[in-house]
Amino acid sequence: MFETWEELEASIIGCKKCKLCNNRNNIVFGTGNKNARIMFIGEGPGADEDKEGIPFVGKAGKLMNMAFDGIGINREEVYIANIVKCRPPSNRNPEDDEAAICLDYLRNQVRLVKPKIIVLLGSVALKNILGKEYGITATRGKWIEKKGILYMPTWHPAALLRDDSKKIEFWQDLKQVVKRDREF
Ligand code: URA
Ligand code: SF4
């Protein structure tokens, strides 16, 4: 564990700890407020993120930004990162070994940000952070507290692009997050 952002950011430069290093253009480390009360965790970079080096800038990200605008979440005020920092080929899910290795960086990010709330975007984030026994369909919209952090699992924004009915639930889940955050 690194105690400063400078050390952590320096440690990931040129990372070759897993095979996802082979096809990436950019490491997508994370973005936003390093002292955020709310953190969002996605799955891994897609093509647009890989090109720009910033999480959630593609189609799913644009949809998430629209929800943020509607609900009153300022993207600059929260911190956004992914389970894996390099794009999986053809946007496949990260494999267990890749996620396990890359999670060290994310854990360190969480340690430095010290968020009160973590929003888990989709099944990959949920299972890698809280455990394989959790399923997104049963768990979404429900608070789970662990070690002083409140977790809110919800749909991955890309799922909203495929299924309109999930938009309402996503919206409701983020509303809960904003409401809880105001109570702190
Ligand atoms: N999907 C993710 O899980 N993360 C991104 O950064 C972009 C799309
Ligand atoms: Fe390193 Fe993570 Fe990229 Fe794998 S995905 S090469 S562990 S930064």
- Ligand 1 in contact with 88 (CB < 6 A)? no
The residues that bridge with 136 in the sheet, in sequence order, are none
State the pLDDT at residue 20: 98
Taken in order 123, 100, 55, 182, is the CA torsion positive or negative?
positive
State the pLDDT at residue 29: 98
- Ligand 2 in contact with 8 (CB < 6 A)? no
Helix (H) or strand (E) holding 40: strand 38-42
User: Which residue's alpha carbon is nearest to atom 4 within ligand 2?
Assistant: 18
Nearest ligand, CA of residue 87? 2
**Token pair in block for residue 5:** 């952002």
State the pLDDT at residue 184: 84
Task: Indicate the pTM of the whole model.
Answer: 0.98
Other Cβ atoms closer than 10 A to 109: 21
State the pLDDT at residue 181: 97
Local structure of residue 34 (DSSP, 8 states): T
* Best mutation site among 24, 57, 64, 82 for ligand 1 pocket (most ligand atoms within 8 Å of CB): 82
User: Which residue's alpha carbon is nearest to atom 3 within ligand 2?
Assistant: 86
State the pLDDT at residue 108: 98
- Strands 38-42, 117-121: pairing kind: parallel
CA gap 21, 86 in Å, rounded: 6
Q: What is the pLDDT along the chain (184 residues), one digit of tens a residue?
A: 999 999 999 999 999 999 999 999 999 999 999 999 999 999 999 999 999 999 999 999 999 999 999 999 999 999 999 999 999 999 999 999 999 999 999 999 999 999 999 999 999 999 999 999 999 999 999 999 999 999 999 999 999 999 999 999 999 999 999 999 999 8
